[in-house]
Amino acid sequence: QVQLVESGGGLVQAGGSLRLSCAASGSIFSINTMGWYRQAPGKQRELVASITNGGTTNYADSVKGRFAISKDNAKNTVYLQMNNLKPEDAAVYYCDAYLRTRWNSPQRDYWGQGTQVTVSS
């Protein structure tokens, strides 16, 4: 069993910053990619940023230059530093880990419970 526990969400004024954390634990053999998605009311869940085990990052165009994803492989933890937040960044942010639980098991996605980010204008 795999658990992803997120923290760091909250209320911030436009232009402010927040840092999200997500720690993966449990039966983990290897992690391929970890990332952050977000879902605003009435909208589809969208990729915000991802980072591979090798450190390759990918960002949504809307957050490039403002958000930075990083990870601590030893702790199976991924971070999302969000700067210059805008009201349109408000959403529930979900952590995702694409991983393998055993050497011979297929890789699959695991999700956190989500953390709310609210940005006031």
Q: Which of 53, 29, 50, 54 is nearest to 105 (CA)?
A: 29
**Mean pLDDT, residues 29-55:** 97
What is the pLDDT at residue 70? Answer: 98
Q: Which of 67, 86, 89, 91 is nearest to 78 (CA)?
A: 67
- Integer CA distances (angstroms), 37 to 62, 87, 105, 111, 121, in order: 13, 16, 24, 10, 22
**Mean pLDDT, residues 2-13:** 97
DSSP code, position 106: P
What is the pLDDT at residue 84? Answer: 98
